[in-house]
Structure 1
Amino acid sequence: MGIAIDVAVGPSLGTLLVYTDNLYSAALYGPARLARWLLGATTVMAVAAGAVVGFLTRDWMVLAVIGIQAGLILVTPVTTAMVLRQHRDQAAAERARAEQVARLADLDRQAAITAERTQMARELHDMIANHFSAIAIQSTAALSRRDLDQATIRKIMESVRENSVKGLAEMRTMIGLLRQEGDEPEATRLRLADAESLVDRSRRAGMAINMRVEGEPQELPVPIDLAAYRILQEALTNALKHGEQPATVGIAYEPERVTVTVDNPVNGRKVRLPGAGAGLVGMRERAGLVGGTFEAGADAGVWRVVAVLPTSAEIA
């Protein structure tokens, strides 16, 4: 209507600029539905203007010129605004996607840090608990007995020293692993094949242990070897602290799995680890991380720990 009045009284460039700017602003900053409505309305108006003028003048050339001019004045601002609006919306979507990716990356980083801290805590617990539990039990026995001869005291002190030195050595190894960068070779590798030395150390700490190995020992993947060794170490530590003697250690090698079993009598006593039971939680986590199973509990006066691990790595 405004354009018609302006044409009737005499068209001016300023008026046309005002109209085009209004159409552009409404299509760009208004609701998306309004922009689509304006596009349809201005298209119809441009076609109608050309048709009316062409009908009145009976000149197809005038019809084409008026239709094109009306399209430039009415349709072009709306289409330009819609194109810019689309680019603006795409840019906003890309920014939102980038922020989401950044948040996900931050969550992944936090999860990785948490997992690494959990692994470090588990390693430190399994590494230190065995040695220092033996030291605490032996030193307590030595201090509580007044009738020990020099030879027995010396034997106890030698075992205490051995556990201290071994604990410090493993602690240095752990620090070395934490300081490694890139693809450097591992500073150490704990193997289930070294179970005999682990059992001997517990025997020297004063614990009676019977050990049996079934099947042919085989080369295991590094994570499974470490998990089996640590589970055996923690189970022996718990037996030393809470169980009675003798303990029985069983290692069974099969083609697709290896089973580690530790039994020790409890004589019907309620067996419970102090605190939150970090040892049992750590053993269960280690077995689960390599695709194995873990069970622990008392049955008929015997506390039994059973870990069944695959012979091929299936890291969760």
Structure 2
Amino acid sequence: MTYEEPPRPERRWIQGVRPVWLPALALAFLQVAGSSVAGRHQPERVALDPLGYALLLAGPALLLARRRHPVAVAAGTSAVTLAYVALGYPYGPVFASLVVSWFSAVVAGHRRAVLVVASVVAACHVLVGQWLYRWLPPSGDSRTTWGQLSAAAAWLLAVLAAAELFRVRRERIVRERRERAEAERRRVGEERLRIARELHDVLAHSISVINVQAGVALALMDERPEQARTALVTIKAASKEALGEVRQVLSTLRAPGEAPRSPAPGLDRLPELVEQATAAGLAAEVSVEGDRVPLPPGADLAAFRIVQEALTNIVRHSGARSARIGLRYLPGCVEVRVDDDGPAVTGGESGGGNGLVGMRERAAALGGTIETGPRPDGGFRVLARLPHSVPSTGAGTPADDSAGTLAPAAEERP
């Protein structure tokens, strides 16, 4: 597990949202300094006076409230800019506050309101340039041509189009980040489910063997100590194997992304399951039909766990002392079958586990099927069909055995 140092307080504005006053301060300096310099080259315009400087500072001041009231700020900066132009002050970067306020309002989702404000600004600009210029400073000003009005309208449309493109791009980035975060949460949940399923299969099988052998040891401790000793040896071996498998599963929590130190179990370890079942008093026979084909890691692990869980259920929930394991290699899939002759044990603890649910999840994650239930002639059957090829999924890979969702209700054999 890695420790990530939290951001320092002095860097909070760099890593997060910038302070709202920073752009406003920069725009205030730009508009005042830029307009002062531009006024020297526009002698026909009105020289800047206290009212002109106040209008230049009013726009940036209004931007301080653009995050809380974007539409009102857009309308206010538009009114200030129109007043500055209508009073005949020099042209310059006075339009910067207008552009920033429109951008902020459009990005905040108020596109229609900004369109209304822009329409009013355009109409007022036409009104001033075509009619009111006679009574407004500077004196002797001429009528604005339609070419100039068209250029101003095109400039306004360009600002609105750029703001809309920026809004769309920002929303796409936010959506992609949200989708990545959801995929990561889903991956973490699936990994937890996989680890829980592995722990259930390992512990249920091993503890069932230990429980049976402990009962045998207690019953034979006084009369047949040698057989009791054999049972204790079996308990030691089963507990050692369980600890090894639990350590292997939990190692993924301590070092995520690293390869396991030992390979995941598969059908090549089927003889070990048979030996453990025999030590628990269950005679298991294995039959194989068809030519063996190598299975993908996910399918090999799923087949092993299904057989392991089926034998565990027989030991815990059935009165049968024998089981038959059948492997049948068919074109495109492998068929795993586990039968016992029953009958089901009554009055015992069921454990309330998720054994049969876990079997179905493993098979479904690989695109396979599983059937469980009583046989017509008595006993119980588990029949799984797992494909040779692994289907691809968007959330996880079946080789990791991480697909599927835990069913709400636990299910065990009757």
Normalised by the shorter chain, which TM-score bucket?
Answer: 0.7 to 0.9
The structural deviation recorded for 1:195 is: 1.2
Stretch of structure 1 that moved more, 134-143 or 123-132: 134-143
The whole-number CA distance in structure 2 between the counterparts of 1:275 and 1:185 is 30
The whole-number CA distance in structure 2 between the counterparts of 1:273 and 1:292 is 30
**What's the counterpart of residue 142 of structure 1?**
217
Match of 2:194 among 119, 143, 146: 119
The whole-number CA distance in structure 1 between the counterparts of 2:392 and 2:347 is 31
TM-score (norm 2): 0.59
2:297 maps to 1:222? yes
Checking the alignment, whether the CA contact within 8 Å between 1:42 and 1:75 is kept in structure 2 is no
Which structure: larger Rg? 1
The whole-number CA distance in structure 2 between the counterparts of 1:269 and 1:244 is 6
1:127-154 Cα shifts (integer Å, max 9, x gaps): 2211111101221233245764012101
Give the paired residue count. 286
The whole-number CA distance in structure 2 between the counterparts of 1:45 and 1:137 is 98
Match of 1:254 among 319, 327, 330: 330
**What's the counterpart of residue 303 of structure 1?**
380
Which residue identity lines up with residue 286 of structure 2 in the other structure?
A: M
The whole-number CA distance in structure 1 between the counterparts of 2:267 and 2:281 is 22
Q: Mind listing any 5+ residue stretches in structure 2 that lack a counterpart?
A: 1-43, 48-82, 90-94, 106-112, 132-141, 394-414
Checking the alignment, whether the CA contact within 8 Å between 1:291 and 1:315 is kept in structure 2 is no
Stretch of structure 1 that moved more, 191-200 or 261-270: 261-270
Match of 1:102 among 150, 155, 177: 177
Q: Mind listing any 5+ residue stretches in structure 1 that lack a counterpart?
A: 1-10, 50-64
1:61-112 Cα shifts (integer Å, max 9, x gaps): xxxx9563x543x444444333223323332333332222222121111101
The structure richer in helix per residue is 1
| SS of residue matched to 1:142 | helix
**What's the counterpart of residue 18 of structure 1?**
86
| SS of residue matched to 2:287 | strand
Match of 1:278 among 336, 344, 354: 354
The structural deviation recorded for 1:124 is: 1.1
Stretch of structure 1 that moved more, 212-221 or 234-243: 212-221
**What's the counterpart of residue 85 of structure 1?**
160
The structural deviation recorded for 1:19 is: 7.2
TM-score (norm 1): 0.76
* Pairs within 5 Å for 1:47-196: 68=145, 71-72=147-148, 74-144=149-219, 148-179=223-254, 184=259, 187-196=262-271
Match of 1:263 among 329, 333, 339: 339
Which residue identity lines up with residue 359 of structure 2 in the other structure?
A: M
The whole-number CA distance in structure 2 between the counterparts of 1:249 and 1:131 is 19
